[in-house]
A and B are shown apart, each in its own frame.
Chain A
Amino acid sequence: MAGGVRLRVAAVWLLAGLCVVSAGILIAPGSSTSNQDRGQVFAGSSSAHPAGTDALGRDRMARVAGAFLLSMAGATLAAAATTAAAAGVGLLAAFSPAYVSGLVLLICDAFLALPWLFLLMMVRSLLPLTTSPANSAAVTFFVLAALGWPACARAVYRGALGLKNAEWMLQARAGGLRGGQIARYVLPNLTPLLLPQFLVSVPAFVIAEANLGALGLGIGEPLPSWGGMLLELENSATLLRTSWVYLPIALLVLVLLLLEGATQEV
């Protein structure tokens, strides 16, 4: 499977490269994610603005680079956290006595049905209005991570339950294998469930962060928000202005494919 390893390494390097290039774009002298060039709204590409400008005349290239780093960091960390939480809860439920697992799953199901929209509104009302955009972004991703785990936890539980009754597991436990060590052996077998959940959560969180902007959370202006740029696509009037609006989504697809490549098993 040498080809697979090469692909994995290449994907990791490409991702790292993207990060470096984005950082470079941001640090370059004269580049700004928030400076409004008001005479050049929705402009096409030019020497000053290689990827054109957005609705307020801000440089799209710099904004995409900034959004990539910001949302990527936030969404990946939040997705990793939520997948880890789902794994933890699923394992706990599978390897605990019946009443504990019953309770855990009950909470899990109830969690899924509650209208968390209102909790998010409450979180916003608790934050001071002058919270900086960066802090608001951090809080948003934290809340998303805290609310995303129940969806996958039950699937992990089922998978772990299946493993629990496998011959090799019964033998190992009889031989004295304990909690933490169980996790070490079980987790690799659960990757078919955990990895897709992680890969699905990343774009979901990027978009969710933008949707939360309607509640006052999300990444505040003037910081660039990747989800916000994706949501520009919902307005057909914007789609006709310039084809550079498709840049954020092209980049996101590329990043998802690279993540897929970087996390695949060989």
Chain B
Amino acid sequence: MLTATLTIACAGQAAPRLPGELAWTIGSDPKTFDPAKVDDQWSEQIRYLTGGVLLRFNRLSQSVEPQLAESWKLAVDGKTVTFKLRRGLEFSDGSGLTAKDVAWSIRRVLLPATGSPVAEEFLSPAGVTVETPDERTVVVHLPRRVIGIGKVFDEIAIEPAERASEGRVTAGPFVVAEYKRSQYVRLRRNPHYFGRDSGGVALPYATGLRLDVLANSEQVTRLFERGEYDVINYLPPDYFELLKQKDAGAVRDLGPSLNTEQLWFNQVPGAALPAWEKTWFQSQAFRVAVSRAIHRADLARIAYEGHATPAYSFMSPANGVWYDRNLQVPKEDLSAAKAGLAQAGFKLNGSVLEDAAGHAVKFSILTNATNAARQKMATLIQQDLKALGMDVTVVALDFPALIERLMHSQDYEACLLGLENVDPDPNAMMNIWLSSSPNHQWNPSQKTPATGWEAEIDRLMGVQASSLKQAERKQAMDRVEQIVADQQPFIYLLYPNALHAVSPRLEGVAPAVLEPGLFWNVERLRLREAR
């Protein structure tokens, strides 16, 4: 009886799978199902899977494709967008989708009362107007030109006019059917979805999706091995190796992603740090020396088990259009680092590095506790910098405490974190590079640029935002990259590879490095036996 009770006690996962249903996990509950109010990662995933959008950004070809719109036209001045809708579009409840619904959805997103994060992407949402000359045409007038306006429409889900349904009535491939908090979200196939494959078969192939709320990597890996999940998005490198040993065909390493891991020093003039520490961190020679002393190859090999690429700039090689091959970067060179420090007035006193005033160089690196790879990187860097005579303490905090120090009190010395880049276009990085932005991590919210090179970066970002010529924009961004490489406000470490696990039973997978990675073409995914 005891054994029986013990075995019954096993925690099975949620509900059993329906035939033809795909399953994977999400890290936590989506904050909202209303596509206009999406403001976190998992809600965005639900919106991607359920929302019918006018245009879709093809993650593989990295170009905008018409979706609900049959065609679209952008005026030469970039201030008018005209969409022509397909014929016979329907919502999942069978009601017709016309220009009226499109206009209503767009206006709702722009309304300040909705509080949609997407509205900000229009730059001046208040001035945007939407017209519907006829049932199948929608004209959007923009007060200011927006770079990549096509991609913005990939984030606006079209809903029935006056009937916001929080994902229950959609024009996308799936519809929200069931939600059990902290357990799972179940999506059901939309029978009225417009998409068809080349043979005329209605998409999506899958009958539904089950997204289980599960954050524990160990559990996810085990359940994937047992066939409970078809996909693991963004696998940690050690579990990648584990799964690879069991079945090499089940794992995919897509090469470097757009994301970066970087180290930076606190350069806020008013920070609560001793004056001599501020001098160190604001000294270009100091930062460059630190960058030269770090062995990025070791970081990639040991912390990421080889599934990362050493990085020296914010443009990843995966970003084909914007990657600069001719960038001059300070490579690893311990003697050059020491020479640079000596020139800046630092000297070695035994094995301890001291600045010109005799203060021992000692600082802390802050990182977040839940990321094992970052902890390893911080410890590896600790030893690398010891070779220079610097005494580094590694402190791991949980995210809220970390963010408070980084963004509110600026009470930190150095920080090791990663940056996620979802959009390959550098215009999406404006908030990092503009010195007035609160996300200009090393010295946020500056009233006027604190240094000449930051002023230059501000100017160049303005150029890329306003220029109509791709070559001019590329030139500006190359210049920004060079300034960043010279000044090292961010000491880039690695581009982590995009690692995924795919069940051998899953067909139609065409993984892309850009998010959402494995299921960007979710309507074409299906399980082998469901034919």
Which residues of chain B have C-beta atoms less than 8 A from A235's C-beta?
Answer: 218, 238, 372
Q: A130-B363, A216-B396 are in contact. Are A57 and B218 (CB under 8 A)?
A: no
In the complex, which residues of chain A have a beta carbon less than 8 angstroms from the beta carbon of B528? Answer: none
Q: In the bound complex, how far is the Cα of B363 from the Cα of A215, in angstroms?
A: 19
Q: Annotate A13-56 by CB proximity to B: 1 below 8 A, 0 otherwise.
A: 00000000000000000000011101001000000000000011
Chain B residues lying within 8 Å of A215, measured Cβ to Cβ, are: 369, 397-398, 401
Which chain A positions have C-beta within 8 A of B383?
A: 34-36, 222
Q: In this assembly, does B180 line the interface, its C-beta being within 8 Å of a C-beta of chain A?
A: no
Q: Which of A34, A125, A133, A237 contacts B242 (CB 8 A)?
A: A237
> Chain A residues near B362 (CB, 8 Å)?
130
Q: Is the CB of A56 within 8 A of B369?
A: no
User: Which listed residue, A56, A130, A132, touches B379 by the CB 8 Å rule?
Assistant: A56
Residue of A nearest to B239 (CB): A237
Contact residue among A56, A121, A214, A237 (Cβ-Cβ distance under 8 Å from B376): A56
B393 at interface (Cβ–Cβ under 8 A)?
yes
Residues from chain B with Cβ under 8 Å of A124 in the complex: 397, 401
Asked if B396 and A213 make an inter-chain contact with CB atoms under 8 angstroms apart, the answer reads yes
> Chain A residues with Cβ under 8 A from B222's Cβ?
236
Q: Mark A214-234, 1 if CB is under 8 A from B, else 0.
A: 111000111000000000001
> Which residues of B sit under 8 angstroms from A36, Cβ to Cβ?
379-380, 383
User: Do residues A214 and B364 form an inter-chain contact, with CB atoms below 8 A?
Assistant: no
Convert B358-372 into 0s and 1s, putting 1 for each residue whose CB lies closer than 8 angstroms to a CB of A. Answer: 000011101001101
A75 to chain B, nearest CB (A): 21
Q: In the bound complex, what is the Cα–Cα distance between A222 and B295 (angstroms)?
A: 18
Q: Is A114 an interface residue (CB 8 A)?
A: no
A130 to B361 Cα, complex, angstroms:
11
Contacts of B209-238 to chain A: CB distance below 8 A: 218, 221-222, 238
User: Would A38 and B401 be within 8 Å (CB), given that A56-B379, A234-B218 are in contact?
Assistant: no
| Residues of A with C-beta under 8 A to B265 | none
Asked if B298 is at the interface of the complex by the 8 Å CB criterion, the answer is: yes
Whether A238 is near chain B, meaning CB under 8 Å from some CB there, is yes
**Size of B's binding interface in residues, CB under 8 A:** 36
Question: Smallest distance from the beta carbon of A206 to chain B beta carbons, Å?
Answer: 19
Residue from the list A133, A214, A238 in contact with B393, Cβ < 8 A: A133
| B377 → A minimal CB distance (Å) | 10
**B302 contacts A by Cβ under 8 Å:** yes
Using Cβ atoms and an 8 Å threshold, which residues of chain A touch B366?
Answer: 129
Please report the C-alpha to C-alpha distance between residue A133 and residue B383 in the assembled complex, in whole angstroms: 15
Interface string of A197-214 (1 = CB under 8 A from B): 000000000000000011
Smallest Cβ distance from B386 to chain A, in angstroms?
9
Residue interface mask B16-44, A partner, CB < 8 A = 1: 00000000000000000000000000000
Could you say which of B372, B382, B395 has the most chain A C-beta atoms within 10 Å of its C-beta? B395
Interface centre among A56, A234, A238 (most CB of B within 10 A): A56
Q: Does B355 have its Cβ within 8 Å of any Cβ on chain A?
A: no
Chain A residues bordering chain B, tally (CB within 8 A): 29
Distance A238 CA – B236 CA, assembled complex (angstroms): 13
User: A221, B369: Cβ atoms under 8 Å?
Assistant: no
Given contacts A129-B413, A130-B364, A238-B238, contact A221 B397 (CB under 8 A): no
Secondary structure of the B contact surface, majority rule: helix
What sequence of 0s and 1s flags, for each residue 106-132 of chain A, a beta carbon within 8 Å of any chain B beta carbon? 000000000000000100110001111
Q: Is the CB of B393 within 8 A of A236?
A: no
Distance to closest chain A CB from B403 (angstroms) = 13
Residues of A within 8 A of B238 (CB): 235, 237-238
* CB closest residue in chain B, given A122: B401
A221–B379 CB distance below 8 A: yes
B293: Cβ under 8 A from any A Cβ: no
Contacts of B298 in A (CB 8 A): 38
**Distance (whole angstroms) from the CB of B128 to the closest CB of chain A:** 44
Q: Give A51-81 interface residues, CB cut-off 8 Å to B.
A: 55-57
The smallest C-beta distance from B411 to any residue of chain A, in angstroms, reads: 8
Which chain B residues border A166 with CB–CB below 8 Å?
Answer: none
Q: Are A220 and B218 in contact (CB under 8 A)?
A: no
Q: Find out whether the CB atom of B239 lies under 8 angstroms from the CB atom of A129.
A: no
CB distance from B237 to the nearest CB of A (A): 9
Q: Are B401 and A56 in contact (CB under 8 A)?
A: no
Contacts of B376 in A (CB 8 A): 55-56
Contact status B401-A221, CB under 8 Å = no
Is B329 in contact with chain A by the CB < 8 A criterion?
A: no
> Once the chains are docked, how many angstroms separate the CA of A214 from the CA of B242?
25
Among residues of B, the one whose C-beta sits closest to the C-beta of A34 is: B383
Give B397's nearest chain A residue, CB to CB.
A216
- A1 at the binding interface (Cβ < 8 Å): no
List, in ascending order, chain A residues with CB within 8 A of B378's CB: 221
- Please report the C-alpha to C-alpha distance between residue A57 and residue B383 in the assembled complex, in whole angstroms: 12
Please name all residues of chain A whose beta carbon is closer than 8 Å to the beta carbon of B395 when the two chains form the complex: 129, 216, 220
Q: Which residue of A lies closest to B302 (CB)?
A: A41
A132 to B382 alpha-carbon distance, docked (Å): 13
Contact A131 B398 (CB under 8 A): no
Q: With A36-B380, A55-B376, A57-B302 known to touch, is A129 a contact of B364 (CB < 8 Å)?
A: yes
Contact (Cβ within 8 A) B398 A56: no
Q: Which residue of A lies closest to B372 (CB)?
A: A235
Whether a CB of chain A sits under 8 angstroms from the CB of B520 is no
B379 adjacent to A222 (CB under 8 Å): yes
Indicate whether B433 reaches chain A with its CB closer than 8 angstroms: no
How distant is the Cα of A222 from the Cα of B382 in the complex, in angstroms? Answer: 8
Whether A240 is near chain B, meaning CB under 8 Å from some CB there, is yes
How many angstroms between the C-alpha atoms of A121 and B301 in the bound complex? 33
* Complex A-B, nearest 7 residue pairs according to Cβ-Cβ distance, in ascending order: A129-B364, A237-B238, A214-B369, A237-B242, A216-B397, A221-B394, A221-B379
11 A–B pairs (Cβ distance < 8 Å), ordered by A: A36-B380, A55-B302, A56-B302, A129-B364, A215-B369, A215-B401, A216-B398, A216-B401, A220-B393, A221-B379, A234-B218
List residues of A whose CB falls within 8 A of some B CB: 34-36, 38, 41, 55-57, 121, 124-125, 129-133, 213-216, 220-222, 234-238, 240
Known contacts A55-B302, A237-B242; 4 further A-B pairs (Cβ under 8 A): A41-B302, A213-B396, A235-B238, A235-B372
